[in-house]
């Protein structure tokens, strides 16, 4: 008999003792926008909690871990907990979850939580909270002004702390105004506090702005709009504002830019020497979404164009160009299409074309025009004969001119090299070097030209040695 009792005792001791586990929430009911915290706990030695990403389609906002020691009847135990915070949008049943406690699976119990629709404040209450906007429909890129108005009766204690909790709405951004910020006024019954916000939308569609929440509690200082915690000794009251609807419409005609803009161009010179660059800056200024303005692509026949990336701030947009032309050219106008904030319609603004004169360029067009001019008192047959004669003279003139230039170039080539080298030595900066070297069109100077361009227009710090440039020019001339 004793052996049987001993055997049963050993059998019972061999059975694992299941640790206690619980599931709890910080509140069994909630208002729209409230944050609910689910906490899973166990007093096991080794606890593995479930990896919960969402609860009934409400994403987990954050998780926290904690431990505490509990002593009951001189028995010491450790409780391990993990909390999951989420913002539910409807009443729901939090399902059971499985914990692995000391290598044994344990299941929690489901929990019901209930959504309550808050009672909105009204005139005559001790506290009144309301929100209003200056318009209910806007185009994408525009902004709407929102006012949060909190009223408290003059007869109430003035040592309350009021914290305003703004809602979180996907694709809507609430920006506290820097202009008016917070204002305070009074009427016959209330002290009135007003907070000003701007709302911007990242997408178009219909939106609901949920209730704004005000938490009211006792505190030695009255800090309206603060976010510090309310004293533990005081009672906290929450009130809710009305809700609002907002419609955001897409911009028409596939436009991307919205606002009120002006455009201008600035240029450093209207006359340049052949092979040198003219610097141009396009500036768009005003009010609007500058970040969505695309860079301009400039194309001019017979000209080489260097362009920087565009830059923008809160009130302007800029793009720089450097243009090198071999003959006279025209910089075309720049056009910006946008949705005008004032007229609520498409608007285009354009700069004027700019004519650039390139000095030192000689063409035969003027000579040909002069030769082709016929006398007024000569008949058609005589004019045709004279025209042939003029073309013959022109051909002889061109042949003589080409021969003369070839001989001059051959005789003066060393002097030109010497003159160019002296100019390179005397060049004061990277831009002067760039303007000297660009017209040479030498293959072994391409890398140096690229480095100079980067130094001038992109704030690079390439070290340029004039000795390397001079050696490259001498080598190129020897091989040719």
For 254-291, the pLDDT digits (tens) are 898 999 999 999 999 999 988 889 999 999 999 998 98
Q: Are 305 and 321 spatial neighbours (Cβ–Cβ below 8 Å)?
A: yes
Name the β-bridge partners of 479.
none
The sign of the torsion formed by the CA atoms of 277, 278, 283, 289 equals negative
pLDDT tens digits for range 158-178: 677 888 988 888 889 998 886
Most confident range, picked from 81-85, 100-104, 158-162:
81-85
Please report which confidence band the pLDDT of residue 362 belongs to, taking 50, 70 and 90 as the band edges.
low
pLDDT tens digits for range 176-200: 886 656 888 999 999 999 999 999 8
Q: What is the mean pLDDT of residues 300-307?
A: 91
DSSP for 442-476, please give it: -GGGHHHHHHHHHHHHS-------HHHHHHHHHHH
pLDDT above 60: residue 292: yes
Q: Is the pTM of this model over 0.75?
A: no
Q: Which of 55-59, 203-207, 406-410 has the lowest mean pLDDT?
A: 406-410
Mean residue pLDDT of the chain comes to 81
How far, in Å, are 329, 365, 372 from residue 362 at the CA level?
Answer: 15, 9, 18
Q: Are 131 and 147 spatial neighbours (Cβ–Cβ below 8 Å)?
A: yes
User: What's the pLDDT score for residue 193?
Assistant: 92
Distance of CA 210 to the CA centre of its chain: 27
pLDDT tens digits for range 314-327: 899 999 999 998 89
Distance CA 57, CA 300 (A): 57
Q: Are 386 and 374 spatial neighbours (Cβ–Cβ below 8 Å)?
A: yes
Please report which confidence band the pLDDT of residue 394 belongs to, taking 50, 70 and 90 as the band edges.
low
pLDDT above 70: residue 402: no
pLDDT tens digits for range 331-344: 999 999 999 988 98
Q: Which of 215-224, 288-297, 368-377 has the lowest mean pLDDT?
A: 368-377
Q: Which of 82-96, 140-154, 208-222, 233-247 has the lowest mean pLDDT?
A: 208-222
User: What's the pLDDT score for residue 229?
Assistant: 36
The dihedral region occupied by 397, where left means phi > 0, alpha psi between -120 and 50, and beta the remainder, is alpha
All domains of the chain in start order, with CATH: 2-115 (2.60.40.10), 127-250 (2.60.40), 255-359 (2.60.40), 371-479 (no CATH)
Q: What is the mean pLDDT of residues 126-138?
A: 93
72: exposed, middle or buried (C-beta count within 10 Å: 0-12, 13-18, 19+)? exposed
Q: What is the dihedral of CA 457, 458, 459, 464, to 10 degrees?
A: -70
pLDDT above 80: residue 370: no
pLDDT above 70: residue 478: no
Percent with pLDDT over 90 in the chain? 44
Q: What is the DSSP letter of 291?
A: G
Q: Residues near 427 by Cβ (< 8 Å), separated by ≥ 6?
A: 433, 436, 466
Q: Which residue has the higher pLDDT, 253 or 385?
A: 253
Please report which confidence band the pLDDT of residue 442 belongs to, taking 50, 70 and 90 as the band edges.
confident
The enclosing H or E element of 411 equals helix 380-426
Most confident range, picked from 164-168, 388-392, 470-474:
164-168
Distance CA 372, CA 375 (A): 10
User: What's the pLDDT score for residue 321?
Assistant: 95
């Amino acid at each position: 008999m004793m052996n049987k009792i001993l055997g049963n005792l050993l059998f019972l001791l061999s059975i694992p003792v299941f640790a206690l586990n619980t599931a709890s929430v910080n509140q069994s009911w909630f208002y729209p926008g409230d944050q609910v915290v689910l906490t899973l706990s166990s007093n096991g030695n080794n606890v593995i909690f479930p990896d919960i990403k969402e609860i009934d389609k409400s994403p987990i906002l954050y998780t926290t871990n904690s431990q505490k020691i509990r002593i009951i009847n001189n028995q010491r135990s450790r409780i391990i907990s993990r909390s999951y915070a989420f913002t539910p949008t409807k009443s729901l049943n939090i399902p059971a979850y499985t914990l692995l406690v000391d290598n044994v699976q344990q299941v929690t119990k489901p929990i019901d939580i209930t959504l309550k629709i808050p009672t909105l404040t009204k005139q005559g209450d001790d506290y009144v909270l309301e929100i209003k906007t200056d318009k209910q429909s806007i185009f994408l890129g525009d902004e709407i002004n929102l006012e949060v108005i909190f009223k408290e009766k003059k007869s109430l204690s003035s040592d309350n702390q009021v914290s305003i909790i703004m809602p979180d709405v996907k694709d809507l951004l609430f920006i506290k105004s820097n202009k008016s910020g917070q204002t305070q006024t009074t009427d016959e019954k209330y002290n009135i506090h007003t907070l000003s916000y701007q709302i911007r939308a990242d997408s178009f569609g219909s939106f609901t702005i949920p209730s704004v929440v005000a938490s009211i509690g006792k505190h030695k200082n009255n800090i309206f709009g603060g976010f510090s915690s309310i004293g533990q000794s005081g009672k906290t009251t929450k009130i809710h504002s009305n809700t609002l609807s907002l419609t955001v419409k897409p911009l028409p005609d596939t436009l991307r830019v919205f606002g009120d803009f002006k455009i201008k161009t600035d240029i450093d010179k209207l006359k340049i020497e052949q092979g040198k660059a003219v610097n141009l800056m396009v500036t768009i200024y005003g009010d609007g979404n500058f970040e969505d303005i695309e860079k301009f692509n400039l194309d001019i026949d017979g000209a080489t164009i260097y362009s920087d990336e565009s830059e923008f701030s809160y009130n302007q947009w800029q793009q720089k160009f450097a243009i090198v032309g071999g003959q006279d050219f025209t910089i075309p106008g720049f056009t910006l299409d946008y949705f005008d904030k004032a007229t609520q319609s498409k608007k285009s603004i354009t700069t004027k074309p700019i004519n650039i004169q390139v000095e030192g360029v000689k063409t035969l067009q003027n000579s040909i025009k002069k030769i082709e001019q016929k006398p007024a008192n000569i008949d058609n047959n005589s004019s045709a004969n004279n025209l042939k004669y003029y073309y013959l003279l022109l051909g002889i003139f061109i042949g003589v001119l080409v021969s003369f230039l070839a001989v001059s170039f051959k005789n003066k080539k060393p002097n030109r090299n010497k003159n160019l080298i002296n100019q390179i030595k005397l060049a004061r900066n990277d831009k002067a070097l760039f303007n000297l070297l660009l017209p040479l069109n030498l293959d072994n100077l391409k890398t140096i030209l690229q480095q100079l361009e980067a130094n001038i227009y992109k704030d690079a710090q390439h070290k340029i040695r004039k000795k390397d440039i001079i050696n490259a020019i001498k080598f190129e001339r020897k091989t040719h």
